[in-house]
Amino acid sequence: MSLRRPLATAALLTLALTGLVACGDDNGDGGGAASGGGDNTPLTIATQNFPEANLVGSLYDVLLSAKGYDVDLKAVDTRDAYLSTFPGDVDVVPEYLGAFGEALNAAANGEGAAPVATNDSEATLAAVEPLAKDKGITLLDLSEANSQNAFFVTQEQADGGLSTLSDLTGQSVVLAGSPDCKGRSDCEGGLTGTYGIDISEILPLGFASPETYAAVKDGEAQLGLTGTIDPNLDDEGLVLLDDDKGIQPAQNYVPAVSSEFLAAHGDIEQPLNDLMAALDNDTVNELLGRVTLDREKPEDVARDFLESEGLI
């Protein structure tokens, strides 16, 4: 009898909540006046959720939005998350050549497959392209920007005569880096095997993480793992060692595009190739510094850069 009111309340509440959920499903795209031939075609970009990838994702986002596409930029934690839906729901991915190649390789040939990437960019591209094609993915132009793993030391160590990894041959060092470093040919495996460095311990502090910088600065580790593009190094007073024997596979930026999407919307190819041509490690390093050190928004930095380069 007195149940009518409660039931009505429940019904109202449910309605209110579903209304709340249904409304406002907008995506914060890069915006900008549509000038190109995109005609508001929806376009989904997936990227990984770390500062450098976010910045490059924003460059793609702002660029393609300006060409008239309705861009949805999705930043996921690991490549694994978008690989199963690209191509498909995802149309464009700002990729790293070697890492993407190995991911496709593992998907096609199983986890133990022989690596396809080498330190030679063109050779790696030639090896990766067929794998990508089989999946319905087209790789556009390689950029000169090449974001490889790299190892750093303190300024004092560098002043003491260290400039290349070969300078460490025969020495025993503690390495601070990501926990998966052990045994990898582009990490501990290559340092011991190719360079003959004795890695006495790996501190699993993460790739280019604040903890890793601190460990090297405090002398807890003598070598730290980061990438060739890392604006924090200057800021922290740390110096990269040259990979003079080339253990790092090529990780050039490369736009990976769904072949089907590209066939229908060929006008995205040229702008993306132009963007790749405008980037190199120094440029990205500086742009990234504006995001991670000065804390500007990636979209703002991307728009500034694209405008100054005349790309939008």
Partner 1 sequence: MTLLAGSAVVADLAAREPKCYSKDVNDWFCLDYVRDRSDEIQQATTTHLQITVTAVLLGLALAFPLALLARRLPRLEALVLGLSTFVYTIPSLALLPLLVPLTGLTKTTVVIGLGLYCLTILVRAMLDGLRSVPDEVRESATGMGFGRTRLLLRVELPLALPVLMAGLRVATVSTVALTTIGTVVSEGGLGKLIADGKSTEFNAELMTGAVLCVLLALVLDVVLVLAQRGLTPWTRRVRTA
Partner 2 sequence: MSDVFSYLFDSASWSGPGGLSEQLVQQLLLSVTALVAALAVGLPIALWLGHLGRFGFLAINVSNIGRAVPTFALLALLARFSWPGSGEFGPYGRAGLATLVALLFFALPPIITQAYVGMREVPADIREAARGMGMSGPQQFWRVELPLALPLVLSGARLALVQVWATATIAALVGGPGLGNVIRLGFANVDRRSEGIAGALLVAAVALVLELLAASAQRAADPVPRDPGRRGGRDLSPIASTVAPAAATDS
277 lies in the binding site for partner 2 (CB under 8 A): no
Tell me, by CB under 8 A, how many residues bind partner 1: 48
256 lies in the binding site for partner 2 (CB under 8 A): no
Picking from 57, 135, 68, the residue whose alpha carbon sits closest to that of residue 100 is: 135
163 lies in the binding site for partner 1 (CB under 8 A): no
Least Cβ distance, residue 111 to partner 2 (angstroms): 5
Nearer Cβ to partner 2 (226/281) = 226
Using an 8 Å Cβ cutoff, are 215 and 224 in contact? yes
Q: Could you tell me the strand order of the sheet in which 223-227 lies?
A: 198-204, 172-177, 223-227, 149-154, 238-241
Site for partner 1 in 213-242 (CB under 8 A): 235
Tell me the window of 87-95, 106-114, 144-152, 195-203 that interacts with partner 1 (CB under 8 A). Answer: 87-95
Q: Could you tell me the strand order of the sheet in which 137-139 lies?
A: 70-76, 42-48, 92-96, 253-258, 137-139
- Residues paired with 199 in a beta bridge: 173
- Residues paired with 176 in a beta bridge: 203, 224
Distance CA 312, CA 308 (A): 9
For 22-36, b/e burial (b = at least 16 CB within 10 A) is eeeeeeebbebeeeb
For 81-93, b/e burial (b = at least 16 CB within 10 A) is ebbeebbeebbbb
Distance CA 210, CA 232 (A): 9
Least Cβ distance, residue 120 to partner 1 (angstroms): 26
Out of 33, 40, 77, 310, the residue judged to bind partner 1 by CB under 8 A: 77
Using an 8 Å Cβ cutoff, are 249 and 186 in contact? yes
* x-or-dash string of contact with partner 2, 97-116, rule CB under 8 A: -----xx-xxx--xx-x---
Least Cβ distance, residue 214 to partner 1 (angstroms): 11
67 lies in the binding site for partner 2 (CB under 8 A): no
Out of 18, 35, 163, 270, the residue judged to bind partner 1 by CB under 8 A: 18
- Choose among partner 1, partner 2, none what residue 252 binds, the Cβ cut-off being 5 to 8 Å by kind: none
58 lies in the binding site for partner 2 (CB under 8 A): no
- Choose among partner 1, partner 2, none what residue 264 binds, the Cβ cut-off being 5 to 8 Å by kind: none
Binding interface with partner 2 (CB under 8 A): 78-80, 83, 102-103, 105-107, 110-111, 113, 179-180, 182, 203-206, 209, 211
